[in-house]
Amino acid sequence: MHAREELPSRIKWLMASRVVLVMFLLGSLFFFQYQYQIYHVRIQHLVYFGIAVCVLAAIYSYLFLKTSLRPSIQAYIQIAGDIALITWLVSLTGGIDSTFSILYHITIISASILLARRGGYFGASLASISYGGLLDVQYYNALGFLRSQAFTAGQVLFLLFVNIISFYVVAFLSGYLSERLRRTRQELQEKSSDFDDLRVLQDHILRSVGSGITTMDMSGKITSWNNAAENITGYGLDEIRDLWTQVFGESIKGLFGRTEDLRAGPVRFEGKIPKKNGVEAVLGFTASLLKDESDDVRGIILTFQDITRLVQMEEKIRRQERLATVGSLAAGIAHEIRNPLASLSGSIQMLREELVLSNENRNLMDIVLRETDRLNTIITEFLDYARPKTSSMTTIPIATLMQDTVVLFRNSRNFSDSITIQCDIDESVSIHGDPSRIRQVLWNLLINASQAIEPPGTITLTAACARQNESDAVVITVADTGTGIDRESLPMIFDPFFTTKSDGTGLGLAIAYRIIEDHQGTIDVKSVVGKGTIFTMTLPIEEASDMFKVRLQKANPGDEKE
């Protein structure tokens, strides 16, 4: 705030303090005059003086509130009025004998506060003229003043000289201090403005940065929490203060015991946290010491980012690398195993037909043939995964393909009458791909779902158009109410030869993953033990129009009329 802007408030302060000071002095003067007769003054004169002060205060208030007179002019008027009142009071209380001449100094100081150095000199000059004139009038017995017999002309001149010098010294010192105060206030305002700008910039940075930033004192209490931290975790500052040990406890466990490590530089680590919506997220943390200007440690500053998708991508790349390695071995396995296996199977079949075997030996032959067929199936699936068939790409109506696959599955030995299949399919959506390979994916997922269900249970198939990564896509889901997949097994279910079934090959889901990947799509899985599993496939859309739903729900193959 500049001096001109502060002047009106200072004038109001002067008007209020003037009334308070004068009333206090008059009250004291009334008391001592009544008790001790310290001055030769009549009480009514003091009353007149008090009335004059009130009248002037009213005039000042009127000028201040009701007129557009500049504040600086009002300040000069009030200073002059105060000098006049003090001169009157000094004359009432003995003039040269009065101790109230000290009030001139108070007025000069007030003038310096109001109008800086020039106001102080104005007040000093006016006080010198008024006080000097009063002493001259009194010394020469003019205007009815009685001459004081205690002072000679030299003493009066000396007293006048000393007072005038004191007036100007007070004006100089108060003006200097007022100027210094003004400059100091201006510098503080500039610093404050710079500090406010810096604080606003800091707030903007913390609000705009994409990384979560939080600070904690050495006891582990959170002291700050930016918007990105709230967006990543879902928790606000008030919530996280009460829940931070549950949310971050495992991730930052032992962090406060590593201050020596932190002194050497930031410490980076990863951890999992439960977000407010219940989803588990993987965060990448960077911890650093929070120090003050004296380089004393005040706490820890923690920055973090949600790297869940990055971790998933890394896992996907590692899976693809493993699949590529397995694929490179498939051709050699096919040449080294499949041909001898075919010869072995053919030979055993011929021996079985030509030899006369006992029932026990015939059963042994059947076991050998059955296991040979099983090995041949594994090799065939392995080759399908490693060297996919040449795709015959065409437009595939999703509804027709899925419903045909469901019909075939209902008539297969993998289907149980206690399983209900529900379909919710958008018939208007098509994709571009190989119908036989997409049908193979659906078939494998239906088999897995039926094997996971402990009858009775439900398999639900859906297909609809959705917006994925700024483009349209077809989202197909196969959900079951089976036993679910445990958390440890879930990341490995698309790996070749990984299976939780005693009679499984572990290639069905690996083949499905490879087929969807070849169609430029993605396949994901979510599972809850005891509740079921949902496989979600996302494929590029071929065509989308007005969507309508066809619901198909059949419990038994006999209920369906084809």
User: Concatenated DSSP letters for 257-292?
Assistant: G-HHHHHTS-EEEEEEEE-TTS-EEEEEEEEEEEE-
Burial of 432 (0-12, 13-18, 19+ CB in 10 A): middle
A 10 A CB-CB count for 434 gives 19
Residue 178 sits at the vertex; the CA angle it makes with 172 and 182, to the nearest 5 degrees, is 145
Q: What pLDDT is attached to residue 365?
A: 79
Ranges of CATH 3.30.565.10 domains, the chain: 394-559
Binned at pLDDT 50, 70 and 90, residue 274 comes out as confident
> CATH: 2.60.40.10, 1.10.287.130, 3.90.1210.10, 1.20.1250.20. Which one for 311-386?
1.10.287.130
pLDDT band at 556 (very low <50, low <70, confident <90, very high): very low
Structure confidence by residue, pLDDT tens digits, 292-342 = 777 788 888 888 888 888 888 888 788 777 766 766 666 666 667 766 777
pLDDT number for residue 1 = 46
| Tokens 């045909």 -> residue | 404
* Residue 551: per-residue pLDDT: 32
Name which residue leads in pLDDT, 163 or 138: 163
Element (H, E) at 303: strand 297-306
Categorise residue 277: left if φ over 0, alpha if ψ from -120 to 50, beta otherwise. Answer: alpha
pLDDT at position 550: 34
210-306: CATH topology: Beta-Lactamase (3.30.450)
| pLDDT classification of 488: cutoffs 50, 70, 90 | confident
Do residues 213 and 288 lie in contact, with contact meaning Cβ atoms separated by under 8 Å? Answer: no
Q: Which residues of 350-362 are buried (b: 16+ CB within 10 A; e: fewer)?
A: eebeeeeeeeeee
Instruction: Mean pLDDT check: name the lowest of 162-176, 358-372, 418-432, 542-556.
Output: 542-556
What is the spatial order of strands in the sheet that 222-225 belongs to? 222-225, 212-217, 297-306, 280-291, 267-274
The continuous run of DSSP H or E covering 422 comes out as: strand 419-426
Average per-residue pLDDT in the chain?
A: 81
What are the residues facing 300 on neighbouring strands?
A: 216, 289
Asked whether the beta carbons of 502 and 396 are under 8 A apart, the reply is no
Residue 216 has pLDDT above 90, yes or no: no
Q: Which amino acid is at 106?
A: I
Average pLDDT over residues 33-60: 81
Q: pLDDT per residue over 514-555, tens digit each?
A: 888 888 889 999 999 989 999 999 998 764 333 333 333 333
Mean local confidence (pLDDT), 388-395: 70
Pairing outcome for strands 457-468 and 419-426 = parallel
What stretch(es) of the chain map to CATH 1.10.287.130?
Answer: 311-386
Q: How confident is the model at residue 46 (pLDDT cuts 50, 70, 90)?
A: confident
Q: Does domain 394-559 have CATH number 3.30.565.10?
A: yes
Structure token digits, residue 467: 């917006």
Query: Which stretch of DSSP H or E encloses residue 297?
Result: strand 297-306
Angle between helix 71-92 and helix 3-36 axes, rounded to 10 deg: 10
User: Which segments of the chain belong to CATH 3.30.450.20?
Assistant: 210-306
Instruction: Tell me the mean pLDDT in the region 263-275.
Output: 82
Q: What pLDDT sits at residue 460?
A: 94
The whole-number pLDDT of residue 131 equals 92
- Six-digit token string for 368: 């050998």
Instruction: Please compute the mean of the pLDDT values over residues 115-138 and round it to a whole number.
Output: 91
Global pTM reads: 0.45
d(CA 27, CA 22): 8
The confidence score (pLDDT) of residue 507 equals: 75
Q: What are the C-alpha distances in Å from 193 to residues 30, 188, 475?
A: 51, 8, 55
Residue 229 has pLDDT above 50, yes or no: yes
DSSP state of 251: T
Query: With 0-12 CB in 10 A as exposed, 13-18 as middle and 19+ as buried, what is 260?
Result: exposed
Q: Which residue did the predictor score with more confidence, 176 or 200?
A: 176
